[in-house]
Amino acid sequence: MAGRAAGVEGAEEWPQRSSAPSAPPAPSAPLLDVVGPNCERGDFLAPARQLPGAVPGAPLAGLTAAPDGFGLRKLLIGAIVTLWGLRLSIHIYRRNHGKPEDFRYQEFRRRYGPGYWWISFFQVFLLQGILMFIVGAPLLPAQISSTPNTITIFDVLGPIVWIVGFYFEAIGDAQLARFRADPNNKGKLLNTGLWAYPRHPNCFGDAAQWWGFYLIALGAGGWWTIFSPIIMTLLLIKVSGVGLLEKTLAKTKPGYQEYMQTTSAFVPWLPRR
């Protein structure tokens, strides 16, 4: 479970995403599904889900585990996945540390009582684990395909798209964190910096990074994994990011309706006057 926070101080502090998976497949991921339901906090999953991608040994395992694959491409995909997962994990941990457990997990505990652990195992942990393997599909051909055994145009375009996405997600998150840390901004709307171009620059950045992963996979023959960035984009727009937040913000936050009329929702664009 997760969701993207919007640029509004005082808005509900969703974890990171609600249905969108958070990390590529890794050997340690199933362990989270077993341990998670028995932890005191169900929302420990939010930062923990990033760790399989953040630990360098996980994305780089293909260098030794798979006999095939083009070495430079495997290093490339391993490096950017590691940066993506590490930054996201640290960001979510710092944002959630010292705060109460996400209210949705609290509601699960109240609703299901002693049966909470197995309900959460299937509805939260196992579901996200399955989604991780589905959405992480482009990382597999990028690591194990040995053809072409040279750098292609997609190996160049993929990292460029990924860097753009990383910039929007990391800087957008940092700008929002600074804005919320200032007590004078309580109840105000963040519509400066990157937040002046799309209303959800961090969501756009996350989606762009997955399109970058896909382009690298495309250069390795992984054209069939296009479902991955499409699913991630749709989840971020319709489920866990834009769609989830704006249902509430448009009705409850002063000035948000005008913000919607003048600012692109997802794709960065100049403000409308």
Residue (of 59, 108, 110) closest to 83 by Cα position: 59
Res 105: pLDDT: 73
Q: How far apart are CA 73 and CA 235, in angstroms?
A: 28
Q: How far apart are CA 124 and CA 29, in angstroms?
A: 13
Q: How far apart are CA 172 and CA 159, in angstroms?
A: 19
One-character DSSP codes across 250-266: HHHSTTHHHHHHHSBSS
Please indicate, yes or no, whether the overall pTM of this predicted structure exceeds 0.85.
no
Q: How far apart are CA 73 and CA 148, in angstroms?
A: 10
Q: How far apart are CA 208 and CA 161, in angstroms?
A: 6
How would you write the pLDDT of the chain (273 residues) with one tens digit per residue?
344 556 654 343 333 333 344 444 444 444 444 444 455 555 555 555 555 544 444 444 444 455 678 989 999 998 999 999 899 889 988 888 888 877 667 777 788 887 777 777 787 778 877 888 899 999 999 988 888 999 999 999 999 999 999 999 999 999 999 999 999 999 889 999 999 999 999 999 999 999 999 999 999 999 999 999 999 999 999 987 788 788 888 888 888 999 999 999 999 999 987
CA 71 from centroid of its chain's CA atoms: 27
* Length of the chain counted residue by residue: 273
Q: What are the backbone dihedrals phi and psi of residue 110, each rounded to the nearest 5 degrees, phi first?
A: -65, -40
Residue (of 211, 189, 173) closest to 258 by Cα position: 189
**Residues facing 264 on adjacent strands:** 198
Res 260: pLDDT: 93
242 SS3 class: helix
Res 16: pLDDT: 35
Res 29: pLDDT: 47
Give the dihedral sign, CA 42/91/228/65: negative
Determine whether 261 is exposed, middle or buried from the number of CB atoms within 10 Å of its CB (0-12, 13-18, 19+): exposed
Residue 229, CB half-sphere, CA atoms under 13 Å: how many? 26
CA 72 from centroid of its chain's CA atoms: 25
Q: How far apart are CA 95 and CA 248, in angstroms?
A: 21
Res 184: pLDDT: 94
